[in-house]
A and B are shown apart, each in its own frame.
Chain A
Amino acid sequence: MKTCILAATLVAAPALASAQELVTRSRVGLPDAPNTLTFRLTSYDLYSSDPATREAFEGLFSAFIRARPGWKIETQLQTGNIGQEQARLLQQTQAGRGPDCAMIDSSQLALFKDTGVLQPMNAVFSDEDVADLFPYVREAVTDDAGNVLAWWWFTDLRVLYRDTSIVPEAPQTWHEVKAAALAAVEQGREGILFNGGRWEGTSFDWLANFWAQGGELTDESGAPVFAEGDNREKFLNAVAYYQNLVESGAAPRRITSITDYDAFNAAAAAGSAAMFVGGNWQYGQLRNTLPEDTFAIWEVSELPGPTPDQRATGTGGWTIAALSDDPEKAALCGEIAKEIYAGPGNAAQGLLPTSQPIYDRYDAYDGPEYDLFVEALENGVARPGAAIYPEISNQIQILLGDVLSGSAEPEAALDAAASAVQSAYERQ
């Protein structure tokens, strides 16, 4: 036991010593700086396990703090478990113990806005900055009075990836997807993969099919309406699309066990699948992990719809918001979002900026795939800004899992989901 500890200390010592500069595991800036801002962030950038990303952000943060010698930033990391982390953040903030500044998942932003814990960062963002934002982003980060309550610093979307050696032409409709997938199965591949396990990605990726038909999850007051009126039929259409893919063998049954996007990268690397519904960020990952000639055969296209004209994609991403009522800290928080993340931070990771000028500003966005992404963002739909969304998503995950594994019929499953959501909604 002692040897273990000793060994651990020995290995840790030099690594810790070298990091004892401006950026450490829990701090940016000098330890004796008079003012402190606490910042809760995700583990994807400054503390990424990818060395290149980490170095880029260390550089950005160092420059930022050097320009503000009176400040240090105490960093707090959150786990990848978004739902729980954000619940905890909200609870802490209400108890007066939250960080001064935090990254908030775009899906949770509405909840934070509703509870009134977000502090305006108007001093940092000009009217032009706000006007440049994509419309759904602008709407999400501002309140009725025009206050900037958060800065959505990158967005993402879902696209259809395909192996062009098997599927040369991008399928435009659900029907074409099925035909192409079945043809791929003939050639010994898995036709199409998508998330079908019990997690947020499953419902969110699938919702694109519902939204493409103009379906709505909630009405303007935030009440669930997805099982009523026209929405019901649209919902069932979208379920039938997936169900049909699985039952025809176009999609393997194993999709109900897929609970992360890595499974798609793996399938692409193994050459076992012909198509998958993935995130735009996976394009960069594939470029980095696949051999060049394998990567060359993968193409992206907009998610197919029921008809070529009916398209949608869910859009997500992260925001940065001030939780401290100290205006100086709120301003610093906004500056972090503006100077580090939105812009150079986007470019360093190849993440999608939320306003057109940033695409034009950086070479990182010259690739043809970004033209496609920006175009597809035109059909972007954000999660509804309703507090009931997590439960709707939960029920959709259950519904899809049950239907796709053959243990429930779509109509009955939809009724069950609608009544569960309604019951949760009435208690909110």
Chain B
Amino acid sequence: MTPTAERAPGQGYPAPWLIPAVAVLATFYAVPVLDVTRLAFSDATLIQPASGFSTVALRSILTDPALPQVLGTTLVFVAVNVAVLQLAGLAIALLIVRGERRELPGMAAFRTLVLAAWVVPGIANGLIWGMLFDEAPYGTLNSLLAYAGLGPVAWLSDPQMALVSAVIANVWQGTAFSMIVFYAARRGIDPVLYEVAELDAAGPWRTFRSITLPLMRRAIAVNSVLVSVQTLNTFDSILALTGGGPGRATEVLSLFTFNTVFYNLDLAGGSVLAVLLFAIGMGLTILIGWLGRDRT
């Protein structure tokens, strides 16, 4: 974190190189974010332009009794997803690496299967899982469970279970990303370290604790940021899966924002929520960036 120290003389004119990136950042992010902030302090609807400065929308959204519930749902949704996605991604990546080292067949096929779920568009993801979770007597998962003498499970009609189901659908699609990142990071570790560990007769758990985990620390930190972003911003699969219901059980902040702008046509209120979404995202980035900072 001390770039000054490594600054070599006679170098360092980054400006021309950075122009395209900075221009894009300014045009597509900075100015729109300012614009949204301005709208948050207005009385604009999708139908009527703003007539002036106003904090009515701000106060009304922030005191909306639904907001704590939505934020709670979002917190649970993001936290559980990030934990499960990282664990699943890490487990799969390590197992595949192990399988490849032992030259076990089928590793590439498995990896491909996980990646295939990743490219499914979010709406399609919601539709597919909607068919699987169908609770009608002929519904897919419940009729499978019935064979095993289990169920039926109220996948989407029970408020708590609906959130679990939304997490399952998201994990199905999202694991691939973490898997790639961890797979790459694990393959980037010098094999010599593992050979030394083997010579020391270190067990798999110790090897994992003292080599794999410390060396993948940064990958885990970076991945946490990216995965929390993706999860926080996810709403298309939930939109297609439950629409946010039953009640508000699966209405996360991004879906709430989407509904406020495009269902209630409340541009000012939606902008307040968008700013909130933005602030939470930034907070997460800074927090995780700080936790995962390089201590070398």
Q: A residues within 8 A CB of B43?
A: 427
Nearest chain A CB to B32 CB, angstrom units: 17
Given contacts A83-B262, A390-B263, is CB(A428)–CB(B45) below 8 Å? yes
Interchain CB contact under 8 A, A394 and B259:
yes
Is B281 close to A, CB under 8 A? Answer: no
Q: A residues within 8 A CB of B251?
A: 198
- Most-contacted residue by chain B among A257, A399, A420 (CB, 10 A): A257
Interchain CB contact under 8 A, B66 and A420:
yes
Is B57 close to A, CB under 8 A? Answer: yes
Nearest chain A CB to B150 CB, angstrom units: 16
Overall SS of chain B's interface: loop
A297 to B138, CA, bound (A): 21
- Most-contacted residue by chain B among A266, A391, A398, A420 (CB, 10 A): A398
Q: In the complex, which residues 89-141 of chain A have their Cβ closer than 8 Å to any Cβ of chain B? A: 90-91, 94, 111, 115
A198 to B245, CA, bound (A): 5
Is B64 close to A, CB under 8 A? Answer: yes
Nearest chain A CB to B40 CB, angstrom units: 13
Nearest chain B CB to A81 CB, angstrom units: 9
Q: Binary interface profile of B, 96-137, with partner A (CB < 8 Å = 1, else 0)?
A: 000000000000000000000000000000000000011111
A94 to B265, CA, bound (A): 14
Interchain CB contact under 8 A, A87 and B245:
no
Interchain CB contact under 8 A, A397 and B56:
no
Which of B155-163, B191-199, B225-233, B282-290 sits within the interface?
B155-163
Interchain CB contact under 8 A, B64 and A420:
yes
Interchain CB contact under 8 A, A272 and B247:
no
A427 to B265, CA, bound (A): 12
Q: B residues within 8 A CB of A428?
A: 45
Is B85 close to A, CB under 8 A? Answer: no
Q: In the complex, which residues 263-305 of chain A have their Cβ closer than 8 Å to any Cβ of chain B? A: 263, 266-267, 270, 272
Interchain CB contact under 8 A, B263 and A267:
no
A111 to B47, CA, bound (A): 10
Nearest chain A CB to B248 CB, angstrom units: 5
Partner of B242, one of A90, A198, A423: A198
Nearest chain B CB to A384 CB, angstrom units: 16
Is B252 close to A, CB under 8 A? Answer: no
Given contacts A257-B242, A257-B246, A408-B247, is CB(A423)–CB(B60) below 8 Å? yes
Is B210 close to A, CB under 8 A? Answer: no
A263 to B136, CA, bound (A): 8
Q: A residues within 8 A CB of B265?
A: 87, 90, 390
Nearest chain A CB to B82 CB, angstrom units: 25
Is A402 close to B, CB under 8 A? Answer: yes
Q: A residues within 8 A CB of B259?
A: 394
Partner of B246, one of A83, A90, A405: A405
Is A254 close to B, CB under 8 A? Answer: yes
Interchain CB contact under 8 A, B263 and A84:
yes
Interchain CB contact under 8 A, B137 and A253:
no
Is B292 close to A, CB under 8 A? Answer: no
Is A401 close to B, CB under 8 A? Answer: yes
Interchain CB contact under 8 A, B245 and A397:
yes
A199 to B243, CA, bound (A): 7
A259 to B162, CA, bound (A): 14
Residue of A nearest to B268 (CB): A427
Q: In the complex, which residues 398-428 of chain A have their Cβ closer than 8 Å to any Cβ of chain B? A: 398-402, 404-405, 407-408, 416, 419-420, 423-424, 426-428
- Most-contacted residue by chain A among B45, B60, B247 (CB, 10 A): B247
Q: B residues within 8 A CB of A87?
A: 46-47, 262-263, 265
Q: A residues within 8 A CB of B65?
A: 416, 419-420
Interchain CB contact under 8 A, B138 and A405:
no
Q: B residues within 8 A CB of A267?
A: 136
Nearest chain A CB to B247 CB, angstrom units: 3
Interchain CB contact under 8 A, B57 and A270:
no
Q: B residues within 8 A CB of A423?
A: 60, 64
Q: Binary interface profile of B, 135-176, with partner A (CB < 8 Å = 1, else 0)?
A: 111100000000000000011111100100000000000000
Interchain CB contact under 8 A, A394 and B264:
yes
A254 to B139, CA, bound (A): 11
Interchain CB contact under 8 A, B244 and A198:
yes
Q: Binary interface profile of B, 64-82, with partner A (CB < 8 Å = 1, else 0)?
A: 1110000000000000000
Nearest chain B CB to A240 CB, angstrom units: 17
Interchain CB contact under 8 A, A190 and B137:
yes
Interchain CB contact under 8 A, A401 and B247:
yes
Is B89 close to A, CB under 8 A? Answer: no
A254 to B134, CA, bound (A): 9
Residue of A nearest to B139 (CB): A254
Nearest chain A CB to B145 CB, angstrom units: 14
Q: Binary interface profile of B, 190-224, with partner A (CB < 8 Å = 1, else 0)?
A: 00000000000000000000000000000000000
Q: Binary interface profile of B, 241-276, with partner A (CB < 8 Å = 1, else 0)?
A: 011111111010000000100111110110000000
A399 to B137, CA, bound (A): 26
Residue of A nearest to B138 (CB): A270
Instruction: List the interface of chain B (C-beta within 8 A of A).
Output: 43, 45-47, 56-57, 60, 64-66, 133-138, 154-159, 162, 242-249, 251, 259, 262-266, 268-269
Can you list 19 A-B pairs with a CB-CB distance of less than 8 A? A83-B263, A87-B46, A87-B47, A87-B265, A198-B246, A199-B243, A253-B154, A253-B158, A254-B136, A259-B243, A266-B138, A270-B138, A272-B136, A394-B259, A394-B264, A401-B248, A402-B248, A405-B249, A407-B249
A-B pairs with lowest CB-CB distance, top 8: A198-B245, A401-B247, A401-B246, A257-B156, A402-B247, A254-B135, A256-B246, A198-B243
Additional 5 contacts, C-beta under 8 A, given A198-B246, A257-B135, A398-B245:
A266-B138, A270-B138, A401-B249, A405-B158, A407-B159
